[in-house]
Amino acid sequence: MINSIDRINELARKQRGEGLTNAEKVEQQALREDYLREIRGQVLNTITGLTVVDPLGNDVTPDKVRAVKEKASDKKD
């Protein structure tokens, strides 16, 4: 679970209610960027673990997914 989600929600509620200070707005933006970075990382991990196989057992993984897998494996090396 993403740790910053509680604070993001807290700031969103405060923004709707009484408003945010400039420091809180900066914090909110930073937390949102971190949240999106974590989500994108999770999606990338899911995609790099993906292999598509047809009913005959042939690997039919799309080329775009293969490219992402190769790029991710290059970063690990």
Distances (CA, A) of 68 to 11, 35, 46, 76: 35, 21, 11, 13
Please state the rounded mean pLDDT for residues 27-41. 95
Q: What is the pLDDT of residue 1?
A: 60
Does this model's pTM top 0.85? My answer is: no
CA terminus-to-terminus distance, the chain: 27
Helix or strand (DSSP H, E) at 50: none
